[in-house]
Amino acid sequence: MTSPFTVEVLVSDTDRLRAAEQDVRRGLAERPRSIPPVWFYDETGSLLFDRITRLPEYYLTRCERAILEARSEEIAAASGADTLVEIGSGTSEKTLLLLDAMADRGSLRHIVLLDISEEILRKAAAELQARYRVEVHAVVGDLRRDLVRLPRPGRQLWAFLGSTIGNFEPASRAELLAQFRRAMGPGDTFLLGTDLRKATDRLLAAYDDAEGVTARFNLNVLEVLDATLGADFDPGRFEHRAVWNPDGGWIEMRLRSKEDQQVKVAALDMVIHLARGEEILTEISTKFQPDAVPAELGRAGLGVRGAWSDDDGDFLLTLAAP
């Protein structure tokens, strides 16, 4: 008998439109102008991100995978979990290492995935269901809002990988970690992937690769806004930039206007004037000091049970519990 495979959509087209309207109205009116990174991830954006994870410059995925290869058994044992809840799951490719370890212990019963990108989520969920033959519940939702709406079978290991936490500024990061804590039960555990501080040239290369895949990923956000809001952004009139912000301790991805231009956003009845050289912030990627991670988790009510780095100390995985 095959186990159930369900997809639940918590973000309707109307929700998506309202959220885009709000984000664009607020973000593009402010200075510096900004667009939240959630708008990168239509199907094209998710496929481009998947390509980024394979680039020679993008060390993050390789390092996190190396830690999971070495430590998944230990993590699975320490968690005692029978359910894996992955947030911002994307392709769930590295997650196979954790799931294999749970399956080898005979403890894997359920998988819950949450991502905003429906196509990639459906594909990942179908692949996991075929591989593990356990109940897979895929949720199309916004992690900033929907953690408490997830199903809660069994004892859960929550995985938030890929340093996605680094895309949040300190105040919203603290709020998000507190939301994780509130959504978790007493026996649950939380596995957090964080990228660590390192030489600026390596960081810049990771966000501005030679092949230009990251540039295409960044520019794709304009196409998403065109499709969602009837805007007329022309990606050819913008260029990708990656900049280290030493005060924040993060890389900023920006889109720079190559010329003076006007962009119309039909759904908002809005015209945006951009001067040549003006920039729109599309993503921050925080690079953590190792001791900042337990401190931030602690403030959210999560105590560290274990922490592991790769051989070069580039990336950190931390297991925590309420």
Ligand X SMILES: C[S@@+](CC[C@H](N)C(=O)[O-])C[C@H]1O[C@@H](n2cnc3c(N)ncnc32)[C@H](O)[C@@H]1O
Per CB under 6 A, residues contacting ligand X are 38, 41, 46, 49, 53, 61, 88-90, 94, 115-117, 142-144, 161-162, 164
Q: Cα-flanking dihedrals φ and ψ of residue 30, to 5°?
A: -75, 165
The closest residue (CB) to ligand X is 162
Q: In angstroms, give the least distance from the CB of 2 to ligand X.
A: 26
Q: In angstroms, give the least distance from the CB of 285 to ligand X.
A: 8
Closest to ligand X by CB, 143 vs 272, is: 143
Q: Cα-flanking dihedrals φ and ψ of residue 106, to 5°?
A: 75, 20
Q: In angstroms, give the least distance from the CB of 236 to ligand X.
A: 25
Closest to ligand X by CB, 134 vs 161, is: 161
Closest to ligand X by CB, 143 vs 265, is: 143
Question: What is the rounded CA–CA span in Å between residue 315 and residue 149?
Answer: 30
Closest to ligand X by CB, 40 vs 233, is: 40
User: What are the residues whose beta carbons fall under 8 Å from the beta carbon of 122, sequence distance 6 or more?
Assistant: 7, 138
Q: At 268, which amino acid appears?
A: L
Q: In angstroms, give the least distance from the CB of 75 to ligand X.
A: 15
Q: Encode the chain in three state secondary structure.
A: CCCCEEEEECCCHHHHHHHHHHHHHHHHHCCCEECCHHHHCCHHHHHHHHHHCCCCCCHHHHHHHHHHHHHHHHHHHHHCCCEEEEECCCCCCCHHHHHHHHHHCCCCCEEEEEECCHHHHHHHHHHHHHHHCCEEEEEECCHHHHHHHCCCCCCEEEEECCCHHHHCCHHHHHHHHHHHHHHCCCCCEEEEEEEECCCHHHHHHHCCCCCCHHHHHHHHHHHHHHHHHCECCCHHHEEEEEEEECCCCEEEEEEEECCCEEEEEHHHCEEEEECCCCEEEEEEEECECCCHHHHHHHHCCCEEEEEEECCCCCEEEEEEEC
Q: In angstroms, give the least distance from the CB of 177 to ligand X.
A: 15
Closest to ligand X by CB, 115 vs 209, is: 115
Q: In angstroms, give the least distance from the CB of 114 to ligand X.
A: 6
* Contact indicator for 230, 265 with CB cutoff of 8 Å: yes
Q: In angstroms, give the least distance from the CB of 200 to ligand X.
A: 20
Closest to ligand X by CB, 135 vs 146, is: 146
Closest to ligand X by CB, 86 vs 296, is: 86
Closest to ligand X by CB, 83 vs 117, is: 117
Q: In angstroms, give the least distance from the CB of 6 to ligand X.
A: 18
